Amino acid sequence: MAEPVHEVRIIEELFSSENSDDEEDILLLRNIANRRRKIPRIQNYIADVVNHYNDKQFKSHFRVSRETCNYLIALFEQSEHYPKGPPFGGVRIKTAEEYILCYLW
C-alpha cells in the first residue's frame, strides 16, 4: 500500500501535468481510491484476552455477567437466526460466542 505522502505527490503530479492523458489520470485516481486498507486486528482475541477476564472485568466490558452471556450464547446457537452450514463465499462462519460478544460489546 502506498504511503499517504506518496499518494499526495501522485495526485499533485496529476493535476500539475499538462501533457498527461485524462483517462490515465482517472484510472490512477480510481486505483488509489479503491485500494484496500489493512485494518489492524488482534488474532484470537476472545481466546487470548476475553477468556482471561475475571468476572468483574467481563461485566465492565460486556455489561452482563459471564453466566448470562453463556446463556445468551446457548440460546442464539439453537435459534434459527444463527447461520449453520458450510461457509458462504469462503468466509469463515463466526461462532455463536463471537456474535454475542460483538453484540454486547
Q: Burial letters for 83-96: b for 16+ Cβ neighbours within 10 Å, e otherwise?
A: eeeeeeeeeeeeeb
* Cβ neighbours around 67 below 10 Å, total: 10
64 and 29 both lie in a single domain: no
Does residue 17 belong to any structural domain of this protein? yes
30 and 55 both lie in a single domain: no
85 and 58 both lie in a single domain: yes
14 and 61 both lie in a single domain: no
List the domain range (segments joined by +) for residue 14.
4-34
67 and 98 both lie in a single domain: yes
Does residue 53 belong to any structural domain of this protein? yes
- pLDDT tens sequence for the chain (105 residues): 556 667 667 766 666 656 556 777 777 777 777 777 777 878 888 989 999 999 999 999 999 999 999 999 999 999 999 988 777 777 788 899 999 999 999
51 and 20 both lie in a single domain: no
Does residue 74 belong to any structural domain of this protein? yes
Phi, psi (deg, nearest 5) at residue 74: -65, -40
The grid coordinates listed for 22 are 485524462
Does residue 40 belong to any structural domain of this protein? no
* Cβ neighbours around 58 below 10 Å, total: 19
Does residue 23 belong to any structural domain of this protein? yes
Phi, psi (deg, nearest 5) at residue 100: -65, -45
The grid coordinates listed for 92 are 469463515
Domain count, the chain: 2
Does residue 55 belong to any structural domain of this protein? yes
Q: CA 76, CA 47: separation in Å to the nearest integer?
A: 20
What is the model's pTM? 0.59
Q: CA 52, CA 47: separation in Å to the nearest integer?
A: 8
